[in-house]
């Protein structure tokens, strides 16, 4: 009997697993399949043979054998197609043979149901922006669920909100966030157990504080505003300020329902930065900081000064043109150009903004002397600078028997003064011919000069002032002296005879820029023309010959820069 018993024991020893106990740990729903996990716990006994797995689909049913050949050392088992065609409420246990010493027995593991119980909720304690490094810091209390596995963090401001998965620490730094200076950022957290059952999320979002601000450099007042912290009720907000990169100092507390603060800075030319911190109601140890505001520079606006009128001159169209020069380091709101006429009427004629520097005073008479000056306004709208007065050069001419007398107003504008005045002259039989100006006299410091008349009927002049630095010049108006005598015209024409055309003759007249209107004795318009160089040959507006008789005319004859009106009659003889 002893020998046979020893043989049996030797047979058992050849198929047993030593020092183990099967502890079924969890059963997870893996979709179509179920996943079982167990642990081999050391003890003084051994397992003989393999495991048998029994299961049932729901509580009222009876267990049945699933598999009788499971290696106890595997630690996991997949119940294939357990949930096909539908999910079932499975229960499982193991059966195995155990030998302890010389005794053998059948052992049953604990029965486990499918684990679909979600772990306890995990809620963020705070989400804070590090104002120095501009990263987002997240913190939370550890999950105490016995079957806890991992945390999952989300940021809703990304295209893919998954921030990090299978994370096990209780602190996280979002080092590549959406810029927390651009907007308030939304975060959330959830947790999972060993079966990856996850607690729902979305109901406990936290949103960062985004701080914005602006400065009024006129009064050096910084206006801060921020969005409310979302995640818990805020008791109060604390405002911190740094001046010229020194450590931040606490400067104010505002109630939790207040989202703005104004800071008045007495010092000029200093850099200021800010951040705010929210304190949780009834929990002063929990807080959240905002991003850091932009750097505000107090008194940055440099009030304009040394704004100059660079030039007052007649342009090619004989309009007065004013050019200004700004102080390049000043901050302008605008520059106002004003004009004073000979009657001392002071008028605002232009407001320069941005980089505009030239104004054409088309409503000014260039034969009248005006004074111009500038009012410069700083960024606060205050007049901080008034320029020196500047004037246009007005030239007049008068003739005597042999000479032409030129007189002009002295030019005042340049700080460097006037180096010289240069006289330019153009001559011809008419004003239209007197267009090719050439230098007549230079190096004049006086404001008058006599010039010989010459043989031409028309002599036109302008004065050019040169600055001492040879950089700028200013031109006067054009003034002409016309050698004008009597104007002659015939009292009759014979269209088919010797005197065919009705025209005007005389020194200095400009027929090209003259006009005539001819009426019959009943006052009806027969003929009209603006350029009368070719004269009137006795036809009407339709090109038909008019009948013999007396006709009346109104002629406007251009003499130099003036126009003379002549009324008379002409007889047509056929």
In this structure, is residue 448 part of a structural domain?
yes
- Shared-domain flag, residues 91 and 8: yes
**C-beta atoms surrounding 359 within 10 Å:** 17
**Do 408 and 354 fall into the same domain?**
no
> 45 and 73, same structural domain?
yes
Provide the CATH number for the domain around residue 175.
2.60.40.10
The model's pLDDT over 376-407, given as tens digits with 9 standing for 90+, comes to 998 888 899 999 999 999 999 998 878 999 99
Q: Is residue 408 part of a domain?
A: yes
Tens of pLDDT, residue by residue over 297-338, are 888 778 899 999 999 999 999 999 999 999 998 889 999 999
367 and 420 inside one domain: no
- Number of domains comprising the chain: 6
Q: What is the 3-state secondary structure (H, E, C) of 309-345?
A: EEEEEECCCCCEEEEEECCCCCCCCEEEEEEECCCCC
Rounded Cα–Cα distance for residues 574 and 499 (Å): 11
Strands 492-493 and 509-519: what pairing? unpaired
445 and 548: one domain?
no
Domain edge (last residue) among 142, 177, 207: 207
* HEC-encoded secondary structure of 489-545: CCCEECCCCCCCCECCECCCEEEEEEEEEEECCCCCEEEEECCCCCCECCECCCCCE
> What span, in angstroms and rounded, lies between the C-alpha atoms of 202 and 189?
8
Average pLDDT over residues 125-152: 93
The radius of gyration of the chain from alpha carbons, rounded to an integer in Å, stands at 52
pLDDT of residue 8: 35
**String of b and e for 459-495 (b: at least 16 CB within 10 Å)?**
bbbbbbbbbeeeebebbbbbbbbbbbeebebeeebeb
State the pLDDT confidence band at 5, using cuts at 50, 70 and 90. very low
In a domain, 302, yes or no: no
In a shared domain, residues 15 and 104: yes
In a domain, 144, yes or no: yes
Edge-to-edge order in the sheet of strand 308-314 = 308-314, 320-325, 358-361
**Is the domain of 36 the same as that of 106?**
yes
Q: What's the length of the chain? A: 574
Q: What stretches of 201-345 adopt beta strand conformation (E)? A: 206-207, 211-216, 221-226, 234-243, 249-255, 260-264, 271-280, 283-289, 296-297, 308-314, 320-325, 334-340
Q: How far apart are CA 388 and CA 1, in angstroms?
A: 135
Strands 334-340, 296-297: pairing kind: unpaired
Residue 250 lies in a domain: yes
How does DSSP classify residue 232?
S
Is 464 in the same domain as 502? no
Residue 282 lies in a domain: yes
Q: Is 253 helix (H, G, I), strand (E, B) or coil?
A: strand
**Helices (H), ranges, 129-270:** none
Q: Which band of pLDDT confidence, cut at 50, 70 and 90, is reported for residue 431?
A: confident
Query: For residue 373, what are the domain limits?
Result: 308-391
Residues 198 and 258 in one domain: no
Tell me, yes or no, whether 49 and 92 share the same domain: yes
- Domain assignment of residue 21, yes or no: yes
187, 207, 227 - which closes a domain: 207
Residues 426 and 453 in one domain: yes
Single out the residue in 482, 512, 530 at which a domain terminates: 482
- Are 17 and 109 part of one and the same domain? yes
The answer to the question of residue 118 being in a domain is: no
């Amino acid at each position: 009997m002893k020998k046979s018993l020893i043989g049996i024991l030797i047979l058992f020893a050849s198929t047993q697993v030593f020092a183990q106990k099967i502890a079924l740990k969890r059963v997870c729903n893996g979709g179509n399949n179920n996943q079982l996990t167990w642990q081999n716990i050391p003890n003084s006994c051994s397992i003989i043979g393999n495991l048998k797995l029994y299961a049932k689909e729901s509580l009222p049913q009876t267990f049945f054998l699933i598999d009788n050949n499971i290696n106890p050392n595997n630690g996991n088992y997949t119940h294939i197609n357990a949930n096909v065609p539908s999910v079932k409420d499975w229960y499982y246990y193991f059966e195995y043979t155990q030998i302890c010493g010389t005794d053998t027995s059948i052992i049953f593991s604990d029965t486990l149901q499918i684990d679909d119980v979600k772990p306890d909720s995990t809620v963020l304690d705070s989400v804070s922006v590090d104002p120095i490094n501009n990263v987002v810091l997240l913190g939370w209390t550890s999950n105490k669920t016995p079957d806890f596995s991992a945390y999952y963090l989300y940021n809703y401001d990304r295209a893919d909100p998954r921030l990090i998965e299978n994370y096990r620490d209780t602190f996280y730094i979002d080092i590549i966030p959406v810029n927390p200076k651009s907007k308030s950022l939304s975060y959330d957290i959830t947790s999972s157990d060993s079966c990856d059952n996850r607690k729902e999320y979305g109901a406990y979002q936290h949103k960062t504080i985004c701080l914005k601000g602006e400065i009024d450099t006129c009064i050096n007042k910084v206006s801060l505003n921020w969005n409310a912290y979302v995640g818990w009720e805020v008791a109060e907000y604390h405002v911190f300020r740094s001046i010229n990169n020194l450590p931040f100092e606490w400067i104010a507390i505002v109630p939790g329902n207040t989202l703005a603060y104004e800071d008045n800075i007495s010092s000029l030319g200093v850099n200021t930065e800010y951040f705010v911190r929210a304190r949780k109601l009834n929990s002063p140890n929990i807080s959240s900081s905002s991003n850091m505001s932009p750097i505000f520079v107090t008194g940055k606006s440099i009030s304009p000064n040394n704004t100059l009128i660079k030039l007052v001159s007649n342009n090619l169209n004989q309009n007065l043109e004013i050019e200004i020069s700004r102080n390049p380091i000043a901050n302008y709101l605008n520059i106002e150009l004003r004009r004073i006429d000979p009657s001392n009427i002071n008028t605002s004629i232009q407001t320069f903004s941005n980089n505009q520097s030239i104004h054409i005073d088309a409503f000014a008479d260039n034969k009248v002397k005006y004074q111009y000056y500038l009012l410069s306004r700083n960024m606060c709208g205050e007049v901080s600078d008034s320029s020196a007065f500047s004037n246009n050069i007005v030239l007049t001419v008068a003739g005597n028997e042999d000479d032409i007398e030129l007189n002009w107003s002295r030019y005042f504008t340049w700080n460097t003064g006037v180096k010289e005045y240069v006289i330019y002259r153009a001559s011809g039989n008419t004003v239209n011919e007197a267009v090719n100006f050439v230098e007549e006299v230079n190096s004049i410091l006086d404001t008058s000069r006599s010039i010989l008349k010459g043989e031409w009927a028309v002599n036109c002049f302008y004065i050019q002032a040169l600055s001492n630095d040879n950089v700028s010049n200013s031109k006067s108006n054009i003034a002409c002296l016309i050698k004008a005598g009597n104007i002659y015209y015939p009292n009759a024409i014979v269209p088919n005879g010797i005197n065919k055309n009705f025209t005007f003759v005389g020194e200095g007249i400009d027929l090209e820029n003259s006009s005539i209107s001819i009426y019959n004795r009943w006052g009806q318009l027969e003929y009209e023309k603006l350029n009368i160089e070719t004269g009137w040959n006795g036809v009407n507006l339709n090109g038909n010959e008019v009948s013999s008789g007396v006709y009346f005319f109104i002629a406007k004859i251009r003499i130099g820069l003036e126009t003379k009106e002549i009324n008379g009659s002409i007889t047509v003889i056929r």
